[in-house]
Structure 1
Amino acid sequence: MISAQAWSDAEVLWDFHQMHHAVRPCSVAVGLGSHDLGVADATVALYKQGMAPLIVFTGATSRTTLSRMPHGEAVHYRERALELGVPSVDIMVEPRARNTGENIQFTRDLLAEASIEVSSVLLVSKPYEERRAYATARKLWPDVDFVSASTPMTLQEYVDSIGDAHLVLDMLVGALQRLMIYPAQGFMVSMPVPDAVTAAYERLCVQGFTSRLAPTSKSESRVDNVTG
């Protein structure tokens, strides 16, 4: 049972994790692999709105996706996009990335090898991964403008889609921790965390929503996967 205080704190983190960018047309849309096919759906919806002429799906498998996406997250995302009517010629697949940094690095390299000029990227992720993905991309691809996007939904709607409120709160806490510790490790740019968000995060940790916290040593935390 999630207490009223824990839910309120989770709402604070949920709102902070989203960048609240106004979506605009970009050179390419990049869908970051995860357990959530909703990322593929959101990417396709933006493509159909004319927000990008090309889609890149990036992601291998992780401990949370191996059973449901055995061919790799990016491959399954591509299959979903094809089902939704996106022409295969407008989809590229990067199938090797196992963490957010590799998602960005390998996608950048893939597009460069294909001689595709990129000045802006529509970065599509799970709602609570927007800020983390943006901070990572700004670090690793600094000469490109990024616009963050995800499926528009409330925390309650996301919990209902996952079916496990405790797990979702764990993931919100884990994503916030990474925003705080990864800049010092060189994995992303620093993004200020308001005191109210820090306080909500700390209360959730005390209440035990900690299963998705990353190891604190540099050597261990770098293998953390984008799926969190």
Structure 2
Amino acid sequence: MLNLSHLYSQLGIMALPLLACSLITLALLIERVIQLILFSGSSHRSIKKSLAQLSKDDDQNIYLLIMSLKNRRALSAKGNAMLLAHRNFTKVLREDVAGLWLQEKRYQLRSGLRLLSLIGMISPLLGLLGTVLGLIDMFKDVAATTGSITPNILADGLGLAMRTTAIGLIIALPAISSAQLLGLWADRIFSRLEHSLNYTNLWIEGVFINDEQDLSNEALKNKERFV
């Protein structure tokens, strides 16, 4: 069990703010990693294979595919289920629905990252403030000392003051770095999600895109045709 009195003796008045920052950072890191792992399940290839075996007029099998996709945790699966469920809408209305859904999921993917960045910015300031307050207390003690000033007195005061800055930096480093890395991870998930939904939307419109090799071969044939 955390001994708050010992923590206060080591960090002074800034012990509780720094402890709160560290606990919030840890909680956000665990929550964001778990959430992104659940969201990042890649099912685009399986969806592509399923669509390749279906006709856009095969309502029964499309309904079964929608039900199957809804039960998956990956965002790409849920997004494609949503898009297929609106396949009978006009293209403009379907894209508006998908755009609103993507906006909501983008917010979910990046939720908490700004708070991590904020903690990364204020933690060193809290540590610096603790250092300044510790130095002020140290000089007060020195001024109140009537006898000789020993190095031990200065060492204790300086140690208490500098520890807060060190703890602030220790909290800030993982907070800022994780906010950036998790942001890149979220953007990658979102980019793949957009690609998957665009593919499915084209399939609904009757456009089936083959793999890159088939596309390159087709482009080569067209180039030779016009040469």
TM-score under structure 1 length normalisation:
0.24
> In terms of Rg, which structure is larger?
2
